[in-house]
Amino acid sequence: MSNEIADKVGRLLIVGGGKMGEAILAGLVATEGFDPRNIMVSDPSEERCAHLSQVYGIPCVDDPIGVLPVDTLVFAVKPQVIRPVVESFAREDAIAGTLVITIAAGVTCKTLEDILPATCPVVRVMPNTPLVSGCGMSTISSGNRCTEEDVELVRGIFATMGEAIVLPEESQDASCALNGSGPAYFSLFVDILARAGEKHGLSYEVAKMLALQTMLGTARMLVETGQAPETVIKAVSSPGGTTIAALEAFAAHGLESALFAGVDAAVSRSKELS
């Protein structure tokens, strides 16, 4: 993180020390220019707080209200509980003027704006867990009270941990289904390929390494060369060869339909949470 962005972020509190809260924390702490003394995390679990404090060297508290005021507030709690959590902050005078970031799937900026004081701009973000490796993908959407500077600051924060783009808020359900849930899809794909390799005589670990490195290399090639996925598929698919045989088998067993159905289900669930 550049010193300029770090200065604008100021004192930052992450409410929720679960997987995504920790992913954001890990990404920030690993970013050049960021001072860990300016970040705090709150979590009701004593065990979780002890873990986060020990690993990242930051204070973790069970009472987030007690550390107010802060300059930037990240709500990294589940959508099912975000409303009562935000309501508890809204009752505090010290929350006035705080930049609020929410990563709760399906929960709109307006939902939080209706709860928080009018002086609190709200920015909605859909990040993913690869933030911990500096390879995250985050989508940023503006609430009604945000300035362009607010949105760019939030985009800049998450861009230090991978890629971050600004999208209209109506696109966030689709983003949730792709980059938000995507790490689970790709991990499942790797596991299936590894087990398939194991079936044909490889050890699970060797097969997993082959699948992972191939996935990583292909993703990097697509990004760096700008090739379309169809171009890569054609380049690997020799007539009558092994790749064609696999692709035909995938089609026959409904792989495309299954993936479309999965993304559709994730989008529908995100909308239900709004």
Q: 171 — alpha (psi -120 to 50), left (phi > 0) or beta?
A: alpha
Confidence (pLDDT) at 28: 86
**Whether the predicted pLDDT of 46 surpasses 80:** yes
Amino acid identity, residue 209? M
**Nearest Cα to 211, choosing from 175, 177, 186?**
186
**pTM greater than 0.85 (yes/no):** yes
Q: Tell me the pLDDT band of 31, cut-offs 50, 70 and 90.
A: confident
Q: Tell me the pLDDT band of 117, cut-offs 50, 70 and 90.
A: very high
Confidence (pLDDT) at 55: 93
**Nearest Cα to 219, choosing from 158, 138, 157, 135?**
135
**Whether the predicted pLDDT of 163 surpasses 60:** yes
Q: 126 — alpha (psi -120 to 50), left (phi > 0) or beta?
A: beta
| 79-107 residue pLDDT tens | 999 999 999 999 999 999 999 999 999 99
Q: CATH assignment of 182-272? A: 1.10.3730.10
CATH of 3-171, picked from 3.40.50.620, 3.40.50.720, 1.10.10.10, 3.60.110.10, is 3.40.50.720
| 198-247 residue pLDDT tens | 999 999 999 999 999 999 999 999 999 999 999 999 999 999 999 999 99
Strands 39-42 and 12-15: parallel
Average the pLDDT over 150-177 and give the result: 95
Confidence (pLDDT) at 2: 61
Confidence (pLDDT) at 75: 97
The domain spans of the chain are 3-171, 182-272
Longest dimension (CA), the chain: 70
List the single range of 8-12, 32-36, 137-141, 144-148 with lowest mean pLDDT.
32-36
List the single range of 55-59, 117-121, 138-142 with lowest mean pLDDT.
55-59
Say if CB 121 and CB 147 are below 8 A apart. yes
- Residue percentage of the chain with pLDDT more than 70: 99
